[in-house]
Structure 1
């Protein structure tokens, strides 16, 4: 994993690693190929929670939670094409926009979840960590 990703995770509680098989199974269930730098993160830590930067809190869900919570929030009904991967611990969800080959990372409100409410944040997971760190 790149040092630039590691530096943003310093204050976070990191989960234990997961297996390649678990990652591949999750991708199959959700019909997505996660971007490589996200795969590296999720395989090594399978989620994380805590402060990122001076004023931001984030929860990156484990693979198991990603599957369960996308179903629970009925993402396919309200925002088809999005794959939620975490939140700010409050009212904003973070997701990959699987409608595009580049799979940008977006923000969307939990309440009133709708594709019209999607805000593109960045194109890569590493850029997303920097975005969170600086916001």
Structure 2
């Protein structure tokens, strides 16, 4: 479970997403937001790090998922952001794990687990993706 107080030392947080913004995001997606991501958006409507991590805000998540055709190529997944270098971050249905995949490939067979949870990615790994942690 994420708490704003755990994120504030590491990130510049946005104001929380409004209930209306969350409803618009779900309407645009045609499905419910992943519960962990919805909880995150209630803390900060998106996130941009000094490094590479970008987590989408409520008003951009549906468009980004449409642009990259996530429902067609990766049914059940939700793109929540990227590493600013061509790697998408995704959540699947109600599973807690965060996945990574090259935005040019977008195939389940090419996906890797980035973190066991969004909280682990943001707190323990301080927003660093797999490639950043291997450097």
* TM bucket, shorter chain: 0.7 to 0.9
Matched, 1:58 2:53: yes
Name the structure 2 match of 1:84.
Answer: 79
Q: CA deviation at 1:119?
A: 1.1
Mean Cα deviation higher: 15-24 or 64-73: 15-24
Aligned residues: 127
Q: CA deviation at 1:81?
A: 1.8
Query: 1:1-135 counterparts in 2 under 5 A?
Result: 2-3=2-3, 6-30=5-29, 31-36=31-36, 38-51=37-50, 56-98=51-93, 101-130=94-123, 132-133=125-126, 135=133
Given that residues 18 and 45 in structure 1 are in contact (C-alpha distance below 8 angstroms), is that contact kept between their aligned partners in structure 2? yes
Given that residues 102 and 123 in structure 1 are in contact (C-alpha distance below 8 angstroms), is that contact kept between their aligned partners in structure 2? no
What CA RMSD, in Å, does the superposition of the two structures yield over aligned residues? 2.5
Where does structure 1 lack aligned partners over 5 or more consecutive residues?
none
